[in-house]
Amino acid sequence: MKKVYLDNAATTQVRENVIAKMQDALANFYGNPSSTHSFGRSAKTAVESARKTIAKYMNAHPSEIIFTSGGTEADNMILRCAVRDLKVETIITSKIEHHAVLHTVEDLASEKGIKVLYVDLDVFGNPDLLHLESLLKQDDSKKLVSLMHVNNEIGNKIDIAAVCELCHSHGALFHSDTVQSIGHYLWDVKAVPVDFLTAAAHKFHGPKGIGFAYIKKNSGLKPMIAGGAQERGYRAGTESFHNIVGLEMAFVEAYDNLEAETAYVTELKSYFIDRMKEEIPDVKFNGHSGDLEKSTFTLVNACLPIDSQKALMLLFHLDMKGIACSKGSACQSGSDLGSHVLAEILSEDDFRKPSLRFSFSKYNTKEELDYTVQVLKEFVEK
C-alpha cells in the first residue's frame, strides 16, 4: 500500500545524520554529564557545546537556553514559575493557543487565583492588537502575555515583533510558544526581545522527548523541578545526553538548509492548494492557511464540502489508503469535542463539516500530493 505522511505538524521524520549522532552518543558517551571523571566531562562538554550552538543561531547567551523534555514542559515551567517567582497576577492569552498553555493558565486561575484574559480574534484567528492594548491598560497588576507565533492547527503567523513591543511598552512580560516556528524561521532574541520562548526538536526532524526553553537572562525564574543543579539550576535531573546532541544536529541542519528547504516546502504547499481548488472547487482553507504570506509554509487546514455523517469515515478512509493527516492537534486525538481552534473561528455550518490539517516536510513529493488530492476527490464525490 502507498504510504503518504502529511502530519508533520504533529511530528517529523528524524534526519539520518541526527540518528547517526544519537547512536554514537549512546554507544560512546555514556558518562553522567554531572560526574567529574573523564567520561562525565566528555558528556558535559557535548551538552554545553549544544547549548552554545543553539544560542549562537538565536543570538542568545548560552545560559538562556534550558533543555527540557519538550514544548509542553517548557510552557508549563515558564507560566507556572512566572506566577510563583515574578508575582504575575494576570495572564493574557487567546482561546486558540495550544492546550499546553490553555490548560496551564486555567489551572493557575483555579489554584493561584490569577486573572486570565483572552484577546479578541478576527474571523481568521488573528489577535486584535487594539484589544490586546486595552487589556494591558486594564489595571496595574503584573501581567504576562502568552501568544504563539505560529498556530499549530491553522498556521497563522502573528506579528511577534509588534506584540513584543506592545507588551514591553506597558510593562508586561511576553512568552511565545514557538514550537511550530523554531527550526522553520530565523530567530534573533536581541532584535525581537521576547522574555520567554519554547521549542521541541521533533517538529524539525529531531528526536522526541527533548526541547528547550529560552529564558531571558536575569529573569528571576527559579527551578520548577527540585533535585540537582543541572540546567543552570532550572531543571533538576540527569541530562538526556543523546537527545540533546540529536536536538543540536537537527537544529543545525534545519538552519543550514533553511533557504532551500523553505523554498521546496513552500512550493509543495502552493501546489497542494492549487490542486485542491482544481479538483474540489468548494474546498475552503481555514484561518489564513491558504495564504502563503500570512501563514506558515508548513501546513494547510482544509474544510471539505461533506456532511457530518459522511465525514465520520473520512480519516479512516484516508488511513486505509495509506495517507496520514489529522483533524487537529495530535494531542487531541481520541477527543470527540472537535478542534477548539476551529470552534472559535468557523461558522456553525462549516464547523460541522470535516476539516483536515495537512502538513508538509522536505521528505514529501508532488506525486504524493497528487495521490492525496485524488483520494479526497473520490471520497467527496462518491
- Of the residues 164, 167, 303, 331, which is catalytic? 331
Interval 95-146: pLDDT, tens? 999 999 999 999 999 999 999 999 999 999 999 999 999 999 999 999 999 9
Interval 199-219: pLDDT, tens? 999 999 999 999 999 999 999
Q: Using N-to-C axis directions, what is the helix angle for 258-279 and 366-381, rounded to 10°?
A: 20
164 is catalytic: no
Which alpha helices (DSSP H) does the chain contain, by range? 16-28, 38-58, 71-85, 99-112, 129-136, 160-169, 241-256, 258-279, 308-311, 314-320, 340-345, 348-352, 366-381
Domains of the chain: 4-12+258-381 (3.90.1150.10), 16-256 (3.40.640.10)
Q: Which of 112, 87, 91 is nearest to 220 (CA)?
A: 87
- Are 145 and 93 spatial neighbours (Cβ–Cβ below 8 Å)? yes
Query: Which stretches of the chain score pLDDT less than 50?
Result: 332, 334
Q: Say how many Å lie between the first and final Cα of the chain, rounded.
A: 21
Q: Which of 193, 99, 79 is nearest to 143 (CA)?
A: 79
Amino acid 121 reads: L
Q: Which residues contact 135 (CB under 8 A, 6 or more apart)?
A: 92, 117, 119
pTM: 0.94
Q: What is the pLDDT of residue 334?
A: 47
Kindly report the average pLDDT of the chain as a whole number: 95
Q: What is the pLDDT of residue 231?
A: 84
Q: What is the pLDDT of residue 291?
A: 97
